A and B are shown apart, each in its own frame.
Chain A
Amino acid sequence: MAETALRRTPLYDEHRRLGAKMVPFAGYEMPIQYSGIVAEHRAVRSRAGLFDLSHMGEFHFRGRGAQATVDRLVSSDVAGLDVGQARYGLLCNERGTIVDDVIVYRVAVDELMMVVNAANIAKDRAHVLELLGADTAFEDRSTGTALIAIQGPRAAQILGAESGAEVTRLHPFGVIGARLARTSAVVARTGYTGEDGFEVFVASEGAGAVWSALREAGREAGLLPIGLGARDTLRLEARYSLYGNEIDESTDPIEAGLAWTCKLDKAFIGRDEIAKRKAEGARRRIVGLVIDGGVARHGHEVVHESTPIGTVTSGTYGPTVDKNIALAYVPTEISKVGTRLAVRIRERDVPATVVKTPFYRRPE
C-alpha cells in the first residue's frame, strides 16, 4: 500500500520525549495522549493544559481590502471587528452549506488572520482565492506557523508569568502581540475546551522555546501536556462543533445550531440560501444526548420507537460530567429536551435522552 509521508510539527521531538502516543491526523503525526485522556481532561478542567495545534492552518489577508474581503467570505461580522478582536464564523458555499469553521483575528488595521482546520487547508485556500481582489494580499503561513494553546483555570496565571500581565487583561476573543521566551508571538484569548485559555501563534523556529517555557512556568500549577484525545472530550462536553463530524458540506448552519454565527443582514457567500433555510425552518437539528448503558460513536443510528431517525455525529464518555454523551442529528419534531430516544450500539437499542447543551459549562 502506498503511504504518504506524515508531516511533523516543530514540537515532534518534545512529544516523543514526553512519551506521547502518536497517531496520524490530518496528514500530521500528532500526539493523541501523554499520561491518559481522562487525566489530561481533568487537568484542563481543574488546572491547566498545553496543546500543540501546529497542524492548524493560518491564512493572512493584508491590504486596504482585507477586512471587506474576509467579511464577504465569513458568515459572522468581520467588518465590525476592531484591531485586537477575534470572532468565530463559517466559510460557506453558494449552496449554504459549510466549507469550514474558522476564527478570524484582526491583528492590525489592514491585516487579518484566519485560522482554519488542518484537514481543510488546501480546500479553504482554493475557496478564498476565488474571491480575492487586487486590494488584498493573501499568504498561507500554515507551514511556518506553530500554534500552542494553554487552557484551564490556571492558564492566565501561567502565561502571564511568562509574557507579562498584559495578556491576562485580554477580554475573551481579544488578541495582541506579545513576547515570551524571547520570541515574538500573537496571543489570543480563544480556545476549544470550555475553559478560560489562550492560543499562542509563533514562527515554527520559536515553538520549542515557547513550549518549554510554558511547561516550566506551569510545573507548580500542575500543567500537563494534552493530546488530541482529551481535546475531543473537552470540546464535546462544551458542545463545540468539529468539522467532519457535526459540520461539513452536507450540513447548513441552521440545522447545525450555528445560526448565531450568520449575520444575515450583510452579504457573504451562501447568505441567500442560509436565509431561505432559516425562514423555512430546519428539518433536522443537532441535539445533545445522554446514553444510559453504552458509548455512542460517530455514525451510530439514533432510533425513535424502533425506527432509525437520525445519526450520531460525535460520542464519548465525558469525564467531567461523568456520563456517556453524544451529539446527533434528529428530526426537529422529536428534538425537544427530555425526549426519550435510543442509540443503536452493536445492534442493540440503548436508551438515550435529549438533554440541554452544553453538557458542561464552567463555573463563573
Chain B
Amino acid sequence: MSAVPDDLKYSKEHEWVRADGDVATIGITHFAQEQLGDVVFVELPEKGATVRQFSSLGVVESVKAASDIYAPISGEVLERNVKVIESPELVNSAPYGDGWMLKVRLADKGELTKLLNAADYRSHIGESAGIGGD
C-alpha cells in the first residue's frame, strides 16, 4: 500500500478523507501513525455528534503520548469504527483500511477544496520530516 494513496484528500495535521457522495470516511495517515508509534488507545465521538473542520474530534494515544485528531471536514458522525476502539493497533497496521476512524455526513463539500491532494501532502510531509526551523 502506498504511504500516500492518490485517491484521498489530506489535512496538514495528517488526517485523510475519502469522500463518497456526501459521506466521508476519516482516518490518520501512514506518516502520522509512524510518528506516533504503537497506538494503544483511540477516543472518538459517538454517532450523531458533530465535528467541525480543523477542530479536535478525538484523541489517539500511543505508548508515549496523547495526540489530538483534527476533523479534516465538518459534518455529523454517522458511524465510528468500533474495531479500531477495540484494537487500536489497526491504526498502525492499516491506517487507510481497517484503521479508519469515522464516517461523517459532509456538511459542506466546498470544504474539500481546503485540503491537500496526495502530491501536496507528500511535499508537506517531506518538509515536516526534515529538520526545519520554527
Give chain A's interface residues, CB within 8 Å of chain B.
32-33, 36-38, 229, 233, 294-295, 297, 316-317, 319, 324, 346
Contact = CB atoms under 8 A, between A and B. Distances in A.
A36 B40 contact: no
B41 A324 contact: yes
Contacts of B76: none
Contacts of B66: 295, 297, 346
Contacts of A233: 63
Given A36-B38, A229-B63, A294-B43, 10 more contacts: A33-B37, A37-B37, A38-B38, A38-B40, A38-B63, A295-B61, A295-B66, A317-B63, A319-B63, A324-B41
Contacts of A324: 40-41
Interface residues of B, number: 11
A36, A37, A316, A317: residue with the most chain B Cβ atoms closer than 10 Å: A317
Interface of B: 37-38, 40-41, 43, 59, 61, 63-66
A37 B38 contact: yes
A233 to B, nearest CB: 6
Contact of A317 (B41, B43, B59): B41
Nearest to A41: B63
A210 B66 CA distance: 37
A229 B41 contact: no
Nearest to A36: B38
Q: Is the interface of A mostly helix, strand, loop or mixed?
A: mixed
Contacts of A229: 37, 63-64
Nearest to B134: A1
A38 B36 CA distance: 12
A233 B66 CA distance: 16
Nearest to B62: A37
A295 to B, nearest CB: 4
A348 to B, nearest CB: 9
A316 B101 CA distance: 22
Nearest to A233: B63
A294 B41 contact: yes
8 contacts: A33-B37, A37-B37, A38-B38, A294-B41, A294-B61, A317-B41, A324-B40, A346-B59
Contacts of A346: 43, 59, 66
B4 to A, nearest CB: 21
A74 to B, nearest CB: 33
B61, B63, B66: residue with the most chain A Cβ atoms closer than 10 Å: B63
What are the 3 closest A-B residue pairs judged by CB atoms, nearest first?
A317-B40, A38-B38, A37-B63
Contacts of A38: 38, 40, 63
Contacts of B61: 294-295, 317
Given A229-B64, A295-B66, A36 B59 contact: no
Nearest to A345: B66
A24 to B, nearest CB: 13
Nearest to B64: A229
A324 B66 CA distance: 13
A295 B41 contact: yes
Contacts of A297: 65-66
A319 B89 CA distance: 12
